[in-house]
Chains A and B, each alone.
Chain A
């Protein structure tokens, strides 16, 4: 059984078809990227997977069970961080433990621990707006993984950041996700950055638009860590570019 199955998902707003028959799957341990031109409905598709939006046709299944609303096993990282400005960082992370029945003290302990894990020691009691973009997204990621979800959905998590910050964070995120004690077994990331997709993914789902459909699913069979300047890497980048532009 697949960890996640996206089966023939279509989405309409009124008569307008936004997503047409999207189908792909994510297995245990896989990092999947959804790539496509801006405004093609990638973020909408990710929200359908999260259970935030119901598809018009088709369904999304987690371990064979249809997702009709957000479930604890699937978590989400937002493009613009979506931190609550009136809560400090540790309180924001605790939002991620809302469903959990553990005591408040244990929640605080866990939240502090995960904040240290994402490199925010010393900023636990600061308010989000005192932080830089990269640090805010670290809080966003901490909130998303503190509840130990199986699947992590990320909606252009690095696109609000400047390139240097994004690169550092990408590396950290990848190391974190691949470390042994990490419960997240699969990541689905929406991006429009080709290099980012090739660098991180095991599988790239290339989408085309109007309406959005899955043009091609590309397996990235390349060892890690990946060297951006290697011929193999450039070949993958070129293939994805070609798929996106033709």
Chain B
């Protein structure tokens, strides 16, 4: 195949992927505006919607993909079904932060605007068109760039996802194409494919999101007139900003938001439901089912064992991520003179979803002992690392500006500098990175632990770990064992909610209490 026709093919496939992305983005924006405005304007809706979204946004929803496929493909025939499933899944990755963005924008609207609307008797639609939607748009665009970055991971993972059943795989898409190239050992073409993918990511940032951002923030212009430092890194910085891989910083912001609300609302209203209540309800229903529903009680042992093994993989990968990311970030933040150049490189690297590398990782690790374990570990590692790196870097704004001067003036060095300065300075970002990074690892589990190419031709199981929750979800889809799949998802969900509640939230609050 000539290089031009190869590139043509790759562009065609990437376009197919991008169509899915933009359909999902459009739907997410519409839904986000609807739900966000509704939650912000209706007290009862607020008390139900916000806690639910709060939980949903921390769940590795990609793990639900086998279940979503099962349900949607059963209702919608052929390629419509699988594409609908993929798009639905991408929406679940994009929607939550857009809802929060809209909700915040509408909640913080000046009271005068609403009085104005009442004064001129604007009807519901006029209020939407003239006040709520325009007021939300800057936040929507801001969150959309983040959504798009997260969505890419979901897109690629769901595209390369395949099981024995060919109706469970998409036909066109960059993920499919790259898998084909990698399993036919065509590595040069694979590299070109990655380059095309990166070009699309950068172009989308520069020609789509940057333009939108400019348009919707045009009346906020003066705020952006901060003088830029006269350095030769300025162009780098501007470019880096344009493609910056937005990293979720939303996880804990919602709590802060509620605190802010409490300050301004004279009477703090009671929530009808809290995320805590949802967690307990989920837990008790599951326990009851396990005790009294035969298919659940029979399988709970297997599910728990799978979950435990996957947990070990995910957390071991996270341990390695921490060991590498912490010195790297400290170096970039406090020591390097060329941080912005490195940052640009990392942002480009991070724009490649780890799961798209899976086919090449499989090949690269061929012949090594414990091959399938290594593949899973590598994919987990690559899925999580950028979240940790970038949220720790993004934390820079909260580091006392003169910390480095203090360090030099008073000669704080070596272990003391790590103990008293660097460690605490990066800790809040590290925790946000841990939550988002570990969620990304779980998301990758459905392809990292079990990967076949049956659906796109060669019929081989490429990698498959002995036991793990990702594998359990995939194989239960294959065998049509819906109750096993549901039990797996319930266990995974409860575990994530418990860890968020009792580990991360507590840690975060503790840190916030002193460093605010």
A16-57 near B? 1/0 per residue, CB < 8 Å? 100000000000000000000000000000010011100000
- The distance in angstroms between the C-alpha atoms of A98 and B511, with both chains bound, is 24
A98 touches B514 (CB 8 A): no
Residue on B nearest A53 in the bound complex, by CB: B405
- Whether A69 is near chain B, meaning CB under 8 Å from some CB there, is yes
A65-99 near B? 1/0 per residue, CB < 8 Å? 00001101001101010111111000100011111
B420 touches A91 (CB 8 A): yes
- The distance in angstroms between the C-alpha atoms of A75 and B511, with both chains bound, is 30
Using Cβ atoms and an 8 Å threshold, which residues of chain B touch A233?
none
Min CB distance B422 to A, Å, is 11
**A76 contact from B400, B405, B413, Cβ within 8 A:** B405
**Contacts A50-B409, A72-B411; A14 near B230 (Cβ below 8 A):** yes
Chain B contacts with A in 389-424, Cβ cutoff 8 A: 400-403, 405-406, 408-413, 416, 420-421, 424
**A85 contact from B401, B408, B514, Cβ within 8 A:** B514
**B405 contact from A72, A78, A143, Cβ within 8 A:** A78
Instruction: Give the interface centre of A13, A50, A70 by most chain B CB atoms within 10 Å.
Output: A70
A85 touches B515 (CB 8 A): yes
A70 touches B411 (CB 8 A): yes
B516 touches A129 (CB 8 A): yes
Using Cβ atoms and an 8 Å threshold, which residues of chain A touch B409?
50, 52, 70, 75-76
B400 touches A70 (CB 8 A): no
**Contacts A50-B409, A87-B420, A95-B412; A80 near B402 (Cβ below 8 A):** yes
- Whether A123 is near chain B, meaning CB under 8 Å from some CB there, is no
B487-516 near A? 1/0 per residue, CB < 8 Å? 000000000000000000000000100111
Min CB distance B139 to A, Å, is 29
Residue on B nearest A77 in the bound complex, by CB: B409
Min CB distance B497 to A, Å, is 29
B416 touches A98 (CB 8 A): yes
- The distance in angstroms between the C-alpha atoms of A51 and B409, with both chains bound, is 8
Min CB distance B337 to A, Å, is 14
B402 touches A98 (CB 8 A): no
A82 touches B400 (CB 8 A): yes
Min CB distance A108 to B, Å, is 14
A98 touches B405 (CB 8 A): no
Chain B contact surface mostly: helix
Using Cβ atoms and an 8 Å threshold, which residues of chain A touch B420?
84, 87, 91, 95
Assign chain A's interface to a size class: 20 to 34
A52 touches B405 (CB 8 A): yes
Min CB distance B359 to A, Å, is 44
A99 touches B230 (CB 8 A): no
**A84 contact from B405, B406, B411, B416, Cβ within 8 A:** B406
- The distance in angstroms between the C-alpha atoms of A87 and B409, with both chains bound, is 17
**B411 contact from A52, A82, A99, Cβ within 8 A:** A99
- The distance in angstroms between the C-alpha atoms of A99 and B420, with both chains bound, is 14
A78 touches B408 (CB 8 A): no
- The distance in angstroms between the C-alpha atoms of A111 and B419, with both chains bound, is 19
A82 touches B403 (CB 8 A): yes
**Contacts A70-B408, A98-B410; A86 near B515 (Cβ below 8 A):** yes
**Contacts A14-B230, A91-B420, A127-B514; A85 near B411 (Cβ below 8 A):** no
Using Cβ atoms and an 8 Å threshold, which residues of chain A touch B400?
82-85
- The distance in angstroms between the C-alpha atoms of A82 and B402, with both chains bound, is 6
Residue on A nearest B404 in the bound complex, by CB: A52
Min CB distance B501 to A, Å, is 24
Using Cβ atoms and an 8 Å threshold, which residues of chain A touch B410?
70, 75, 95-99, 143, 147
Using Cβ atoms and an 8 Å threshold, which residues of chain B touch A69?
408
Residue on B nearest A96 in the bound complex, by CB: B410
- The distance in angstroms between the C-alpha atoms of A14 and B229, with both chains bound, is 11
**Contacts A50-B409, A70-B409; A85 near B516 (Cβ below 8 A):** yes
- The distance in angstroms between the C-alpha atoms of A95 and B410, with both chains bound, is 7
- The distance in angstroms between the C-alpha atoms of A50 and B420, with both chains bound, is 22
Using Cβ atoms and an 8 Å threshold, which residues of chain A touch B406?
78, 82, 84, 95
Min CB distance A98 to B, Å, is 4
A122-142 near B? 1/0 per residue, CB < 8 Å? 000001010000000000000
Chain A contacts with B in 210-228, Cβ cutoff 8 A: none
Using Cβ atoms and an 8 Å threshold, which residues of chain B touch A75?
409-410
- The distance in angstroms between the C-alpha atoms of A234 and B416, with both chains bound, is 49
Residue on A nearest B423 in the bound complex, by CB: A86
Using Cβ atoms and an 8 Å threshold, which residues of chain B touch A52?
405, 408-409
- The distance in angstroms between the C-alpha atoms of A72 and B401, with both chains bound, is 22
A89-116 near B? 1/0 per residue, CB < 8 Å? 0010001111100000000000000000
Instruction: Give the interface centre of A16, A51, A75, A96 by most chain B CB atoms within 10 Å.
Output: A96
- The distance in angstroms between the C-alpha atoms of A15 and B148, with both chains bound, is 41
Min CB distance A28 to B, Å, is 22
Using Cβ atoms and an 8 Å threshold, which residues of chain A touch B230?
13-14, 16
B411 touches A80 (CB 8 A): no
Instruction: Give the interface centre of B403, B405, B410, B412 by most chain A CB atoms within 10 Å.
Output: B410
Using Cβ atoms and an 8 Å threshold, which residues of chain A touch B403?
82, 84
- The distance in angstroms between the C-alpha atoms of A96 and B405, with both chains bound, is 12
Using Cβ atoms and an 8 Å threshold, which residues of chain B touch A129?
514, 516
Using Cβ atoms and an 8 Å threshold, which residues of chain B touch A97?
410
Instruction: Give the interface centre of B400, B409, B516 by most chain A CB atoms within 10 Å.
Output: B409
8 more A-B contacts (CB under 8 A) besides A83-B400, A98-B416? A72-B411, A78-B402, A80-B402, A84-B403, A85-B515, A86-B515, A95-B420, A98-B410
Question: Could you pull out 22 A-B pairs where Cβ atoms are within 8 angstroms?
Answer: A50-B409, A51-B408, A52-B408, A52-B409, A70-B408, A70-B409, A76-B405, A82-B400, A82-B401, A82-B406, A84-B406, A84-B424, A85-B400, A85-B516, A86-B511, A86-B515, A87-B424, A95-B406, A95-B412, A98-B411, A99-B410, A129-B514
Nearest 3 CB-CB pairs, A to B?
A82-B402, A86-B424, A99-B411
